[in-house]
Structure 1
Amino acid sequence: MTSKPSTGRLQHIVIASALLLCSAVIFYMYYKPTMSWLPCSDTALPKQDVCTEECLRILKVENQTQIITNCTSVQEKTPTTQSPVLEKEDTTNTHEPEIVVLVWKWPFGVPFDLESCESNYGIKGCRLTLDRNEYDKAHAVMFHVRDIGGEVSNLQTLSRPPRQKWVWMNMESPANSPRLPGADDLFNLTSNYRRDSDIWVPYGQLIDISEKDEPFKIPEKNKLVCWIVSNWNGNLKRVGYFNELSQHIKVEAYGRHFGRYINSEDYSQVVSSCKFYLSFENSVYIDYITEKLFNPMRLGTVPVVLGASRENYEEFVPKDSFIHVDDFKTAQELAEHLKLLDQNQEMYEKYFAWRKDYVVKNSNFGQEHACRICDHVRRYKNYRVFKNVNKWYWG
C-alpha cells in the first residue's frame, strides 16, 4: 500500500505548482504567445494584473490552493470587453438623470444660448428651455425679478410639482430692483451677485492664467482718465464725485449726457486707450462690484473705483490692481496721484503685476445663472424654502 504524502511534502508540491503557473503567466505577459488555453489568455487581458498580483502573493498566504483557484475563476466570471471600474463609471453616467431648468422669461428680454452649459461651464446633464409646456417636468424655474412684477398674484396660485425649485434671480442692486409684495415666501433658492445667495454668480472673476493665454502687454495710451456713463442722475454719489474730480484733472467723459455716445463696437477701443477708468457704481452695496470694474481690468486699464469698501473689493481682486477713491481725503488728492502715476511708468505698471498669474472672466448674464442653477439642483436634493426674500435683499 502506498503511503500518503506527508504535510510538508504536499506543501512543497503546491508551492512548486504555483511557481510553475506564475512563470507561465509572466512568460505570456511579456511574449504574448497565441495560446488561448492559458488562464490569463488574450480573452482576459484586463485581468492579467489581478492574476499576477494574486500569484505573486501565493508564498505569503497559507491557503495557496485557494488563491490559484481564485486567479482562474476571476477571469472566467468577469466580462472581457472592459474593466469593472470603467463599466461602473459608464453605467453611472448613462443613468444620470437630466436636469431641466425652465427660463420663465428672457432676462430683460435678451435671449441667450440654451445649449452651452457644458461647453461654456463644463456643466453636464443640464437642459435649459423656454417652453412653458415643460413646466411640469422642470426641476427648477428661473424667475428674473425685474420681469415678473405684475405676475406675482398669478404665480401664487400656480400649482407646482412638490420638488420643483423656484429660483429668485437678480443682478441689479437693491436701489435698482423692485420689491415684490406677496413674494416673500414664494421662492426656494436665490441666484445673485451676493456671496450669501444660494447660487453665487459674480459679475466677473479672476481665474488662473492658462498656457493658451497670450502674454499681457499694456495697450497704447493716448488718454489719461475716461468715463462712460449711461445712467446720469445728479443725485447719485458718483456724479457729485465726478464733478469735483473733473475740476482738477481732465476726464474724457462719454455718453448721451455729454453728447458723445459710444456703441458696443467702440467701447473696448476707447477703454483700452485710457490709463485710468472711472469704475463708479450707481449705488453702494456689499458685493455689488460690476462689470465697471472687470471690463477695464480685462482691457488693460487701471480702474478707479467708487462703490463698496476697499476691503470688499480686495475679496474679489488684488489690492494693487485698482485705485479706490476712499484712499484719498479729497478728489483733488486723487487727481494729484493720477498725475504722478502718469509721469512714472514704473509705478503705473505695478498695477498690472496680477496679469502674470490671472485673467479676467466676465459672467454671461442670464445664461450662466441658468446653468449654475441647473448644476446646483443636480447636486443638492434637499428641501429648501427661502423665507422673507424681500427682507434679505432690501434689509
Structure 2
Amino acid sequence: MRLGWRYCIALAVLVAIWLAVVVKFSDKIINHGNAKSSELVEVLWWSRDMETWKYDEVRHCGINTCRITNQRHRLPMSRAVLFYGSNIKTGDFPLPRGEHHVWALLHEESPRNTPFVAHEEFLRHFHFTSTFSRFSNLPLTTQYLPSGQALTSKDYHVSFAAKSKWAFRPSVSVAFLQSDCDTMSGREDYVKELMKYVHVDSYGSCLRNKDLPERQSFQRSAVLQNDYLNNLYSPELLRFLSDYKFMIAIENAACPDYITEKFWRPLVMGVIPIYFGSPTIKTWQPNKKSAIFVNDFPHPRALAQYLVELADNQTEYDSYRQHKLNWRNPISNKILLHNLVTRQYHIGDSSPGGSLFDKFECAVCNYVINTARNVRANSRHYNCPVEPVYAHLENREMPQNVADWRSMMEVGQCQAKILDEFFQRNYSFHEADFEAELTRRMERNQCK
C-alpha cells in the first residue's frame, strides 16, 4: 500500500517537471516567433528606371506583410529581387547572388524589347514569373479582357441592320487601328495586301488613310485623336469603332497565350476580329466561332473573298456574335469562364492594390513566405519561338522585315547564353563586359 502511494507521488512529480519544461520551451517558441514576425520580409525592385524616386513602403498581402523598396543598399536584407522585363539592362544584375535571394520576373510584353527573355538559358535563373503564358506563376493571359460582363454587355452592340445602313461605307466595313508599324508578325505587309481586295479604314500611324474624329456625340474627344493608346477601352473609342463589321486584330508577335486588346476589344464592341497571333487563341475565344482567323486562309485575297460573302449574310455574320446575342449561354468556353473567376489581375481593376505592380509585389511576397524555392522557371513560362511566325502573303512571300526580326531573336539567344554563363560564375559584371563578350562571339560566329 505504501509502495503504491510512493509510486503515485513520484509520477506526479515527473508530470509536474514535464509540464514545467513544456511551458518554458513553448515560451521560447512563442517569443522566437514574435521576434521573427516583427522583422518584415523585404522585397527589392532592381531597376535603374526607378532610381529617380524613393519607393519604400509596407505592403499588406492577405495574411502576409512585406516591405517593398527600390533602395539598392537593402539588397543584403532582401529576400526577393524583382525585375521588370522591358527595363532590364544586360549589365545590371545583383551579383554575387545570395543563396537566400529569390529572383522574380514581370514581363507582359512580347520579346521585341528584350529578346533574351524568351530563352530558357535566361529564364531558369528565376524562381517566380508573371507573363502572358498560362504556365507562369502569375499568368496574365486574359489581362486585356476587362470582364466577362464586358463580353456579354450590349452597351456598344450595334445590330447587323444598323451596321449595314451607312451609305458612305462599303458593305465590307473593316477598321484597322495600329501605331506600331514594324512587327515580327508582318502585320503591315498583310494589311497592305488585304487592302488590294477590300477597303480598310486605317487609323493610327500604320497605313493611315483616315483620321479619328475630333468630336464624337457633339463632345470634344481628345482621347480618340491624340491619346487612344492610353485609353484602349474609352467609351468614345468603343462607340466610334462599334459601327464597323470587322476589325483587324493582328498581334505584333505570335507567341502562345500572348493575347492583347486587339482580340478582346472587337469582341467587347460586337465587332468580328480578324485575328492573327497566338497559336492558342482558339482555347480562349468565348465560343467555338467568335473570330475570323487569318491562318484559316491561304492568303489575303481568299480572306477578302470570305469577308465579302459574310458582310451580306446576317445569319452567318451574327453566328460570330453569340456572346452578345445568346442570352441563355453567351460564353460556352469553360476554360475562359474558369480563368475569369480565378485570374489575379486584369486591366481596369481600380480597387486598392489592383494594379499590375501591386499584384505582382504581393504575389512574390506570398511566394517568398509560403513556398519552398526549389523550382525554377523554364521556356514555357514565356514561350515565344526563336523563329518569327508571320501571316502568309500571296505566293508565300516573306514580309519585309522578318529577316531583321529573325536576326534579332538569334542575337537574343546569344545574349541569353552569355547571361547564363555570367550568372553561373556569380561575379559582378558591367555592360562593357557583356558587350565585349557578345561582340567576340558574333565576330567568331559563335552565337548559334
The answer, yes or no, to whether TM exceeds 0.5 is: yes
- Secondary structure of 1:304's aligned partner: strand
Q: Residue in 2 aligned with 1:191?
A: 130
1:38-63, Cα deviation, whole Å (9 max, x unpaired): xxxxxxxxxxxxxxxxxxxxxxxxxx
Give the alignment partner of residue 200 of structure 1, picking from 139, 149, 156: 139
Q: Per-residue deviation at 1:137? A: 4.9
For 1:104, give the aligned amino acid.
Answer: W
Cα RMSD, aligned residues only: 4.5
1:263 aligns with 2:264: no
Q: Per-residue deviation at 1:286? A: 2.1
Q: Per-residue deviation at 1:270? A: 3.6
1:147 aligns with 2:87: yes
Q: Residue in 1 aligned with 2:175?
A: 226
For 1:239, give the aligned amino acid.
Answer: E
Q: Residue in 2 aligned with 1:216?
A: 154
1:242 aligns with 2:187: no
1:262-313, Cα deviation, whole Å (9 max, x unpaired): 522554344333221111011222222222112222333221101233xx11
**Counterparts of 1:1-395 in structure 2 under 5 Å?**
101-105=43-47, 125=64, 127=66, 129-132=68-71, 135-152=75-92, 154-157=93-96, 159-160=97-98, 162-179=99-116, 186-204=125-143, 209=148, 215-216=153-154, 219-220=157-158, 221=163, 224-233=173-182, 236-257=185-206, 258=208, 260=211, 263-264=227-228, 265=231, 267-309=237-279, 312-318=280-286, 319-355=288-324, 356-357=330-331, 362-363=346-347, 365-386=356-377
Q: Per-residue deviation at 1:249? A: 1.3
Distance in 1 separating the partners of 2:292 and 2:190: 15
Distance in 1 separating the partners of 2:48 and 2:291: 34
Distance in 2 separating the partners of 1:302 and 1:323: 7
TM-score by length of 2: 0.53
- Secondary structure of 2:283's aligned partner: coil
Contact 1:226 1:252 in 2 (8 A): yes
Contact 1:98 1:125 in 2 (8 A): no
- Secondary structure of 1:179's aligned partner: helix
Contact 2:136 2:380 in 1 (8 A): no
Higher-Rg member (1/2): 1
Distance in 2 separating the partners of 1:128 and 1:389: 30
Distance in 2 separating the partners of 1:201 and 1:177: 18
TM-score by length of 1: 0.59
Contact 1:193 1:200 in 2 (8 A): yes
Contact 1:101 1:142 in 2 (8 A): yes
Give the length in aligned residue pairs. Answer: 293
Q: Which runs of 5+ in 1 are unaligned?
A: 1-94
- Secondary structure of 1:305's aligned partner: strand
For 1:129, give the aligned amino acid.
Answer: I
Q: Which runs of 5+ in 2 are unaligned?
A: 1-36, 212-224, 325-329, 332-336, 348-354, 387-448
Distance in 2 separating the partners of 1:299 and 1:165: 42
